[in-house]
Amino acid sequence: MENKKDWSSEKKINYILGLQDKGLSRKDIAADFGYTRVDTLDRLMKKYGYEKIDGKFVLRMEDNSPTSIKNEVISMVKDGCPPYGGQLLGSSDVQTKLINIVNNYDKLMYVINNFGKMEDSCPIDVIEVKSGLQIDFKKSEVIKTTIRVDKDVWDDFSDLCKYKYKHLNKHDIISKAFIEFMDKYK
């Protein structure tokens, strides 16, 4: 028995389409072809230009007409955009930006191509900006103790720790608060 996977691409496609025309499902075609998974069959057909529409493989229709290069001035599109997919170009701001990109295409490509070649010719000192709560006291052994705190105060404190300072430990924050209290009221 001949291995169907070794066939030419044209023979594979014709065989699969023939089974599809006979009414077999994609799952049955995949099993007959020797694939254990349907998505393997789907990828094979997609590779050769077929789309899966309503469970059937249909050849994608692409515009293969030759493109001609014309040097024309691009102007604003005044007409309405097509009802499908043209919403993006409906904005004159977007059109202006696209026209600007097209007009400066050579400059943009020059910058992109030379970006990797550029050296860091001006050294920059890194300035570290510290903001927020800093836990900078000399730490010692952590002890476990019990204190009484107003429930609303504790809930607010827990929420603050959970959402804003989740990168810090509660015991460090409490220790810092005690230190600041002692420094202020000694």
**Is residue 137 one of the residues assigned to a domain?**
no
> What is the average pLDDT across 92-98?
80
**Model confidence at 106: pLDDT above 90:** no
Residue 34, SS3? coil
Among 36, 59, 82, identify where a domain stops: 59
**Is residue 124 one of the residues assigned to a domain?**
no
**Is residue 146 one of the residues assigned to a domain?**
no
Do 104 and 75 reside in the same domain of the chain? yes
Residues of 54-75 as b/e, b for ≥16 C-beta within 10 angstroms? eeebeeeeeeeeeeeeeeeeee
Do 55 and 75 reside in the same domain of the chain? no
DSSP state of 80: P
- Higher-pLDDT residue of 83 and 169 is 169
Confidence of residue 151 (pLDDT cuts 50, 70, 90): very high
Count of structural domains within the chain:
3
**Model confidence at 145: pLDDT above 80:** yes
**Is residue 78 one of the residues assigned to a domain?**
yes
**Is residue 140 one of the residues assigned to a domain?**
no
The amino acid occupying position 153 is V
**Is residue 131 one of the residues assigned to a domain?**
no
Residue whose pair of structure tokens reads 């804003």 in the numeric block = 164
Do 55 and 77 reside in the same domain of the chain? no
**Cα-to-chain-centroid distance, residue 77:** 31
> What is the average pLDDT across 134-160?
86
What is the tens place of the pLDDT at every residue in 41-93?
888 888 888 888 888 888 876 655 555 555 566 555 555 555 545 555 556 77
- Higher-pLDDT residue of 126 and 153 is 153
Mean model confidence pLDDT for the chain = 77
Domain enclosing residue 28, as ranges: 4-59
Confidence of residue 185 (pLDDT cuts 50, 70, 90): very high
The percentage of residues in the chain with a pLDDT greater than 90, rounded to a whole number, is 6
**Is residue 141 one of the residues assigned to a domain?**
no
What is the domain-level CATH number for residue 39?
1.10.10
Do 74 and 99 reside in the same domain of the chain? yes
